[in-house]
């Protein structure tokens, strides 16, 4: 699957990304790593990037996209990838979409790991690290405080507070993130690709929600494809000439319902007191094999997903 990960500093998206890499066996593509590797390798793009960085300039989107494209051509990215840290703005998102379209590998999902700003503040400003380098234990004064304030539980050394973890610095970092990400969230929402997972709770709980989202996002495609294949495999019986479309639509709704136990026939029967005419379209419904099963299968997973997705928002 091809995913863009969105999430604030402190959202835990890095942890989720690692778990995704393991579960789905796809690489995470980080532009920072790509730049370092390209510069070290001295490739064409690497030399361009180095020239820009040496001149104190930002590496252009073209160069970064070129590196991403090169990376995508490697065999381990065949099954998909996780993009983290790119795109950061709409022009980059558009250029990425254009590039992926040329490769016939469009993004399937933009996953936002959402955490309230005040929780992020506590996660980031509350961090304390054991100053004993050989220990390196990490605490959070709000969520996992040491037993004695300022002292490491394990080795008794003083706990250090990084200067860039102070409240003002963190708040402005989060504001920058908000300003960058809000337009991207809208962009992917408009494409119908945005899904949001709450980034609070245990790592495993969050990951369960992440994988649920991914499965739902991927399966409708698989379901639609297998339905199409099944329909193609069956020799299609002669279709009824005109009324084909109307019964097909009618059939789609009841077909999705059996789980809800409601006998599909009841409603129409009650509304229209024409019992003689009803039986006629029924056999036609069965004849219209292509349309009916497709809609039914598509509808099923969507229904399941809808309430879940809402809960997390
Ligand atoms: Zn320690």
Q: Are 308 and 264 in contact (CB under 8 A)?
A: no
Question: What is the rounded CA–CA span in Å between residue 210 and residue 198?
Answer: 9
CA of 152 from ligand 1 middle (Å) equals: 5
pLDDT tens readout for residues 89-100: 999 999 999 999
Q: Are 307 and 259 in contact (CB under 8 A)?
A: no
pLDDT tens readout for residues 106-156: 999 999 999 999 999 999 999 999 999 999 999 999 999 999 999 999 999
> Which residue shows structure tokens 């809208």?
186
* Nearest Cα to Cα of residue 187 among 1, 4, 2: 4
Question: What is the rounded CA–CA span in Å between residue 182 and residue 176?
Answer: 10
Residues acting as catalytic residues:
13, 88, 127, 162, 173
Q: Residue 253's pLDDT is what? A: 43
CB neighbours (10 Å) of residue 216?
A: 18
CA of 136 from ligand 1 middle (Å) equals: 6
Average pLDDT, the chain: 80
Strand 2-7 vs strand 127-130: parallel, antiparallel, or unpaired?
A: unpaired
Strand 109-114 vs strand 2-7: parallel, antiparallel, or unpaired?
A: parallel
* Nearest Cα to Cα of residue 262 among 272, 250, 254: 254
CA of 138 from ligand 1 middle (Å) equals: 8
Q: Where are the alpha helices (DSSP H) in the chain?
A: 13-24, 31-41, 44-54, 61-72, 90-102, 117-125, 167-190, 203-233, 245-256, 266-271, 281-287, 291-312
Largest CA distance in the chain: 87
CA of 197 from ligand 1 middle (Å) equals: 34
Question: What is the rounded CA–CA span in Å between residue 240 and residue 258?
Answer: 25
Q: Residue 199's pLDDT is what? A: 95
Class of residue 97 by CB neighbours under 10 A (exposed 0-12, middle 13-18, buried 19+) = middle
The vertex-237 CA angle with 235 and 238, nearest 5°, equals 135
CA of 158 from ligand 1 middle (Å) equals: 8
Question: What is the rounded CA–CA span in Å between residue 47 and residue 215?
Answer: 40
pLDDT above 80 for 274: no
Give the length of the chain: 313
pTM of the model: 0.66
Question: What is the rounded CA–CA span in Å between residue 195 and residue 5?
Answer: 10
pLDDT tens readout for residues 228-251: 777 777 655 554 544 444 444 444
Q: What is the CA radius of gyration of the chain?
A: 26
* Nearest Cα to Cα of residue 232 among 285, 293, 300, 282: 293
CA of 133 from ligand 1 middle (Å) equals: 8
User: Which tokens sit at 200?
Assistant: 């609070």
Cross-sheet strand order for the sheet of 159-160: 138-140, 127-130, 159-160
Mark the residues whose beta carbon lies below 5 A from ion ligand 1: 130, 132, 135, 137, 152, 154-155, 157
Q: Residue 227's pLDDT is what? A: 64
CA of 126 from ligand 1 middle (Å) equals: 17
């Amino acid at each position: 699957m091809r995913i863009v990960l969105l999430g604030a500093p402190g959202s835990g998206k890095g942890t989720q990304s690692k778990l995704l890499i393991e579960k789905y066996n796809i690489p995470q593509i980080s532009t920072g790593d790509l730049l370092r590797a390209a510069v070290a390798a001295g490739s064409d793009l690497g030399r361009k990037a180095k020239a820009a960085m040496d001149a104190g300039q930002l590496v252009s989107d073209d160069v970064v996209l070129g590196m991403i494209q090169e990376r995508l051509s490697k065999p381990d990215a065949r099954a998909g990838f996780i993009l983290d840290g790119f795109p950061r703005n709409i022009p980059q998102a558009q250029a990425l979409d254009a590039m992926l379209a040329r490769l016939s590998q469009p993004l399937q999902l933009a996953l936002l790991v959402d955490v309230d700003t005040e929780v992020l503040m506590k996660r980031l400003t509350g961090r304390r690290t054991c100053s004993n380098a050989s220990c390196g234990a990490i605490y959070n004064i709000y969520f996992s405080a040491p037993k004695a304030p300022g002292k490491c539980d394990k080795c008794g050394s003083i706990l250090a507070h990084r200067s860039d973890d102070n409240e003002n610095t963190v708040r402005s970092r989060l504001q920058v993130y908000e300003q960058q990400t809000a337009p991207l969230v809208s962009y992917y929402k408009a494409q119908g690709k945005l899904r949001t997972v709450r980034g609070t709770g245990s790592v495993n709980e969050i990951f369960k929600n992440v994988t649920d989202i991914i499965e739902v996002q991927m399966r409708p495609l698989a379901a639609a494809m297998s339905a199409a294949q099944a329909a193609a495999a069956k020799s299609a019986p002669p279709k009824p000439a005109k009324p084909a479309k109307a019964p097909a639509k009618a059939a789609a709704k009841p077909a999705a319902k059996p789980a809800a136990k409601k006998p599909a026939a009841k409603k129409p029967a009650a509304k229209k007191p024409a019992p003689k005419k009803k039986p006629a379209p029924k056999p036609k419904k069965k004849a219209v094999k292509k349309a009916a099963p497709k809609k039914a299968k598509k509808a099923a997973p969507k229904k399941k997903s809808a309430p879940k997705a809402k809960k997390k928002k």
